[in-house]
Amino acid sequence: MPINNPYGQYKENSINTASHEDLTLMLYNGLVKFLMQAQMALEEKNIEKANTSIIKAQNIIIEFRETLDMKYDIAQQLELIYDYMYRELLNANLKKDASIIEAVLNLAKDLRDTWEKAIRIARQQNRQVQMAK
């Protein structure tokens, strides 16, 4: 990213200063974005772009899987979901099937929305604790 690119600098600063929770949300948003790009590329019969977008989505899922702390039950549940999503994307990429991507996209949106809600609740509770002090 060139130094004279204000958007690039803003984006890099946002990533470097984001909390763990916000970084996770950014990854979920990226996952949704790449899945939507893959769908659109398949509709446009742009197989190369679809392949690239699916691989980017799979890379995000790999990142999610690698950062799970398996001592928690929720992590074990998420591992199963991420494994399913990854395998489905492999299948979608082989078959060039937008309906499979749609199913994974819906799941990704649900996970993102749940994570976003959890962040809001946690921050609200933290504010209430701070105000009570």
pLDDT at 109: 98
> For residue 49, what are the contacts with CB-CB under 8 A and spacing of at least 6?
37, 38, 41
Query: What domains appear along the chain, each with residue ranges and CATH number?
Result: 20-132 (1.20.120.340)
pLDDT at 11: 57
CB atoms closer than 10 angstroms to residue 123: 12
CA angle 77, 23, 80 (to 5 degrees): 15
pLDDT at 89: 98
- Given a cut of 70, the residues of the chain with pLDDT beneath it are 1-3, 7-17
Q: Kindly tell me the burial class for residue 114, based on how many C-beta atoms sit within 10 Å of its own C-beta (0-12, 13-18, 19 or more).
A: exposed
Q: Where are the alpha helices (H) located in the chain, listed in sequence order?
A: 6-17, 20-43, 47-66, 73-95, 98-132
pLDDT at 94: 97
pLDDT at 84: 98
Query: Would you give the DSSP letter of residue 46?
Result: -
